Amino acid sequence: MSCINVNHLSKSYGSVNAVDDIVLSVNSGQVFGFLGPNGAGKSTTIKLLTTLIPPSSGSLSILGVDAVKNPLNVRHKIGVVLQQPSYEPTLTVEKSLDKYGMMWNVPKKIRKKRMEQLLQDFDLVEIRKKRNEDLSIGQRRRVQVAREFMHDMELLFLDEPTVGLDPSARRKLLDYLKNKVKTGLTIFYTTHILSEAEYLCDEIAIIDKGKIIAIDSPNALKSRFGKEKTIKIHLLETQSNISALLSGISDCKINFETGTNIIIHSEQSELVLLQVLKILNENNIQIEDLSAVPTNLEDIFLKMVKENASNN
């Protein structure tokens, strides 16, 4: 069952189409990643989906509610962590959580229980009495994300929630989110950090210049767009004639760095590697290190955005 249905949604500011005729469907109980370069339209899309701004055209259904006609009904059911920091400077961490729960009409007893749990889960116990204005950027971000779990929701929008977090806090948050999804929560997640998307997301959409250029699971995207593999060979000694020796190998692109490093890009990487090894062996050239770099989402993302730019 899908909890977000977007049909030909557009948002224009004057002559600029920030979001251009996007069609999107997000299934319940999964993490949906929304990726794109700066200015691609990610934040505008989040603002449209969270009913902060109305669309210029198109229709939008969130959790079965028409979000254009009934934005308040939608907002009762969702949680939102926006990209920009949001906090009340004079409140302490625990007061921030409690007041946020109160704003969502969560009964006092439940608020107290949830607050204690969230202080633990987000490593906020030690700073619970500190005022928001005295926190570091990372601590403030953790409070901002933790605060959203004070209330019940069916769908959570997270707009680059790990900005400012150290690697350990980042991983902890991703694992926390994974566990929440297991309880039935759906997450709409935007990020610049593609390893995060790869780790967390069940499905990914890539947006560029306001248009969605791909939607699929990370693995499907890899097999569709990531056939080319990279092999790195580090030679024991500098070989001045290496370029000439390998020039006869077809179906690949070979780069040489400093006479000892060979980088091979090919869709037939296994066959090409065999040929390279054979040539090196025949010429008594010793290898110090060899590695195959798996295709990651970042490569695919960069490739797709580049291709989209050249197509335009």
Partner 1 sequence: MHPIIRLVNRNLTISLNPGFLIWQVIFPLIYIFVAGYAYAPLINDVPFGGKDLDYPAFLASGMIGFNIMNSTLISGILIWNDRRHGMFEQIMSGPFTRSHYILSNICTIGIIGLVSASLIAVVGYPVFFESVEFSFITIPIIIFGAITGSILFGSLASIISTRIHSSEGFNVIINTVFLFFAFVSTAFYPADGAPEPLRTAFYLNPLTYLVDVIRAGIFGTITEFVIIEMIILVGIASVLFIIASKLLTKLDF
Of 10, 56, 58, 75, which lies in the binding site for partner 1, with binding defined by CB under 8 A?
75
Residues in 244-283 that interact with partner 1 by CB under 8 A: none
DSSP string, 99-143: HHHHHTT--HHHHHHHHHHHHHHTT-GGGTTSBGGGS-HHHHHHH
Of 82, 207, 242, 272, which lies in the binding site for partner 1, with binding defined by CB under 8 A?
82
The single-letter code of the amino acid at 49 is: L
Of 88, 257, 270, 307, which lies in the binding site for partner 1, with binding defined by CB under 8 A?
88
76 binds partner 1 (CB under 8 A): yes
85 binds partner 1 (CB under 8 A): yes
SS3 128: coil
Phi, psi of 98 (to 5 degrees): -65, -45
Q: In this complex, which beta carbon is closest to partner 1, that of residue 80 or of residue 280? A: 80
Instruction: Tell me which stretch binds partner 1 (CB under 8 A): 30-38, 68-76, 172-180, 209-217.
Output: 68-76
- Contact pattern for partner 1 over residues 103 through 142, marking x by CB under 8 A: xxx-------------------------------------
Of 7, 57, 70, 86, which lies in the binding site for partner 1, with binding defined by CB under 8 A?
86
Cα 248 → chain centroid: 41
51 binds partner 1 (CB under 8 A): yes
Query: 50 with 75: CB under 8 angstroms?
Result: yes
CA contacts within 13 A on the Cβ side of 200: 32
- Helices 137-148, 108-121: axis angle to 10 degrees equals 140
**Rounded CA gap, 91 and 139, in Å?**
14
Binding site for partner 1 (CB under 8 A): 47, 50-53, 72, 75-76, 78, 80, 82, 84-91, 95, 99, 102-105
